[in-house]
A and B are shown apart, each in its own frame.
Chain A
Amino acid sequence: MGTSKVFVSGNEAAAIGVKLARAHVISAYPITPQTVVVERLSEMVEAGELKAEFIHVESEHSAMSAAMGASAVGARAFTATSSQGLLYMAECLHYASGGRFPIVMMNANRSLALPWSIYGDQRDSLSLLDSGWLQVYVEDAQESLDMMIQAYAIAEHKEVLTPVMVNLDGFVLTHTYELVEVPRQEDVDEFLPPFDTENKLDFENPKNMCFSSSPSDNMEFKYQQHKAALKASEVIKKVDQSYREKFGRGYGGLVDGYRCDDAEIILITLGSITGTCRVVVDELRSQGKKVGVLKIRFMRPFPEKEILDITRGAKVIGVLEKDISFGYEGTVYTNVNSALIKSGRIIKSYNFIAGLGGRDISREDIKYMYEYLEQAASGAEKECVKFINLGVDTDGE
């Protein structure tokens, strides 16, 4: 199988993935740090490398509306956004998932105002966890490219037909250059056939789409939508497996555990920080500590069973997230604890809130988290929700 290698940023890798997926329509409004992905796609369209309509829209709300219009006629639609832009299109996110339009969107994870910030954290996408979109968090540029192709295979699966949001950590991933392997177009074409759906506007089979429903039907539509999102769990695993067979790269489906088999202390992560955690795990393992890291790839559908399986032997778990649901705790932490308690398992769990507004999360910070968890496992009283690396004294408040 012939491939080529290119040195590109996460944004550029995503653009190559979209091109290989042969998107028909790209509608976008630029916002930092997403801008480069749509700039590259516009260049590809201009150069004739990608036969697609590129629609310059006046807002993110319009970007998603245009993507829905494209999807409604059976076109493969792509858009990308970030931060406030994602929130600006929030209304349309529910519309797209309710309409069962298999749109793929890249979101460059970025902090939310106020204070105004262009730097990365994951509060934008996690605050829209209930929008009905499947959400995947990728770790590097290669995974960004591969997931654009996988995302269409998942979204367009007849039993799923649900949009997918592919999340890249802002700047850390969107703007960092890496060597990336580009699959051949012929191989991608074999893996991802043209989008074909009956759920579209068609002169031969005219339909009413996106209509109202009264209380007598609305709940059934929502139940059906929920079932499709749950069904995506199996489809994600199958797509990942067949991608591995075809291209030699797979990502583990819903989750990716690293040195978790006999781990007593497991740190749960999302996205690009996982790489640094792996380095720390290797270092601590060399000191004889039984530690591991569990990367959640998909937040929706939530990998409940996989988390339970992987953490079965752990004495304590930590959840590291660049997110806070103000007045409570991290959203990932809430979801993980929900999975544990429903299974009847009581396990000590701690939440590390870190990296908000682009603050660096260092190896030392991660080592500190593992030490914190080790002390908790030994019976020390610890705060459940811990802000990491605050730059000022808080007098222990």
Chain B
Amino acid sequence: MHKPELKQYEKPKHINDYPCGPAALAGTLVAKNAGWRTKRPIIHKEKCAGCYLCYLYCPEGTIFKEDKKINFDYDFCKGCGICSKVCAHKAIEMIKEGENGN
């Protein structure tokens, strides 16, 4: 449930510096994948029971453990809201992108 460390990706300057097809040293993150999210989940940690049901249901694997509670990898969370729906403790709230200073 812990996020792996990522290697720094530097966009190649010349076409010959690109790998042959989409392949790179393990642990390299070329692209973040959350550009189309309109809503984001936020965790109310005081309500989170640490059951990790949301972790099991997240179709993108973007939930991780933090201090016995959960948190989100916003680089990949697409904002589907499944985590919020399955949370029995109403600990996850979906808010519009841009609201609450986000």
Residues of A within 8 A of B (CB): 98-101, 161, 198-199, 206-214, 216-217, 220-221, 223-225, 227
A198 and B24 CA atoms in complex are apart in Å by: 11
In terms of DSSP, what is the predominant structure of the interface of chain A?
A: loop
Asked if residues B22 and A161 are in contact (CB atoms below 8 Å), the reply is no
Q: How far is the CB of A121 from chain B (nearest CB, A)?
A: 32
Which residues of chain A are near B15, meaning CB under 8 Å?
Answer: 220, 223-224, 227
Q: A208-B27, A208-B28, A223-B15 are in contact. Are A213 and B22 (CB under 8 A)?
A: yes
A99 and B19 CA atoms in complex are apart in Å by: 11
Q: How far is the CB of A397 from chain B (nearest CB, A)?
A: 48
Q: A216-B11, A223-B15 are in contact. Are A199 and B30 (CB under 8 A)?
A: no
B101 within 8 A of A: no
In terms of DSSP, what is the predominant structure of the interface of chain B?
A: loop
Asked if residues A217 and B21 are in contact (CB atoms below 8 Å), the reply is no
The one of B25, B30, B31 in contact with A206, judged by C-beta atoms closer than 8 angstroms, is: B25
A361 and B21 CA atoms in complex are apart in Å by: 42
Asked if residues B23 and A209 are in contact (CB atoms below 8 Å), the reply is yes
The one of B12, B20, B26 in contact with A220, judged by C-beta atoms closer than 8 angstroms, is: B12
The one of A199, A206, A227 in contact with B21, judged by C-beta atoms closer than 8 angstroms, is: A199
The one of A208, A210, A217 in contact with B26, judged by C-beta atoms closer than 8 angstroms, is: A208
Which residues of chain B are near A220, meaning CB under 8 Å?
Answer: 12, 15, 18
Which residues of chain B are near A227, meaning CB under 8 Å?
Answer: 15
Asked if residues A221 and B31 are in contact (CB atoms below 8 Å), the reply is no
Identify the closest chain A residue to B16 (Cβ). Answer: A224
Q: How far is the CB of A2 from chain B (nearest CB, A)?
A: 38
B35 within 8 A of A: yes
Asked if residues B31 and A214 are in contact (CB atoms below 8 Å), the reply is yes
Which residues of chain B are near A221, meaning CB under 8 Å?
Answer: 18, 21-22
Looking at chain B, what size class is its interface with the partner chain?
A: 10 to 19
A206 and B28 CA atoms in complex are apart in Å by: 11
The one of A99, A198, A206, A216 in contact with B22, judged by C-beta atoms closer than 8 angstroms, is: A99
Identify the closest chain A residue to B14 (Cβ). Answer: A220
Asked if residues A211 and B24 are in contact (CB atoms below 8 Å), the reply is yes
Identify the closest chain B residue to A228 (Cβ). Answer: B20
A214 and B35 CA atoms in complex are apart in Å by: 9
Q: A161-B20, A220-B18, A223-B15 are in contact. Are A214 and B32 (CB under 8 A)?
A: yes
A210 and B24 CA atoms in complex are apart in Å by: 9
Identify the closest chain B residue to A98 (Cβ). Answer: B21
Asked if residues B33 and A212 are in contact (CB atoms below 8 Å), the reply is yes
Identify the closest chain A residue to B35 (Cβ). Answer: A214
A191 and B31 CA atoms in complex are apart in Å by: 40
Which residues of chain B are near A214, meaning CB under 8 Å?
Answer: 30-33, 35
Identify the closest chain A residue to B24 (Cβ). Answer: A208
- Report 14 cross-chain contacts, Cβ distance below 8 Å, ordered by A residue: A98-B21, A199-B19, A206-B26, A208-B26, A208-B27, A208-B28, A209-B21, A209-B22, A213-B30, A213-B31, A216-B31, A221-B18, A221-B21, A225-B21
Which residues of chain A are near B32, meaning CB under 8 Å?
Answer: 214
A208 and B19 CA atoms in complex are apart in Å by: 11
Asked if residues A199 and B23 are in contact (CB atoms below 8 Å), the reply is yes
Given contacts A208-B23, A214-B31, 5 further A-B contacts (CB under 8 A): A211-B30, A212-B22, A212-B33, A217-B31, A221-B18
A213 and B35 CA atoms in complex are apart in Å by: 12
0/1 per residue, B27-59, Cβ < 8 Å to A? 110111101000000000000000000000000
Q: How far is the CB of B11 from chain A (nearest CB, A)?
A: 7
Which residues of chain B are near A101, meaning CB under 8 Å?
Answer: 21
Identify the closest chain A residue to B31 (Cβ). Answer: A214
Identify the closest chain A residue to B21 (Cβ). Answer: A100
A199 and B31 CA atoms in complex are apart in Å by: 20
Q: Which of B18, B21, B23, B26 has the most CB of A within 10 A?
A: B21
Which residues of chain A are near B30, meaning CB under 8 Å?
Answer: 211-214, 217
Which residues of chain A are near B23, meaning CB under 8 Å?
Answer: 100, 199, 207-211
Which residues of chain B are near A208, meaning CB under 8 Å?
Answer: 23-28
A199 and B32 CA atoms in complex are apart in Å by: 23
A216 and B12 CA atoms in complex are apart in Å by: 11
Which residues of chain A are near B35, meaning CB under 8 Å?
Answer: 214
Q: A213-B31, A223-B15, A224-B15 are in contact. Are A161 and B26 (CB under 8 A)?
A: no
Which residues of chain A are near B25, meaning CB under 8 Å?
Answer: 206-208
Which residues of chain B are near A210, meaning CB under 8 Å?
Answer: 21-23
Q: How far is the CB of A215 from chain B (nearest CB, A)?
A: 9
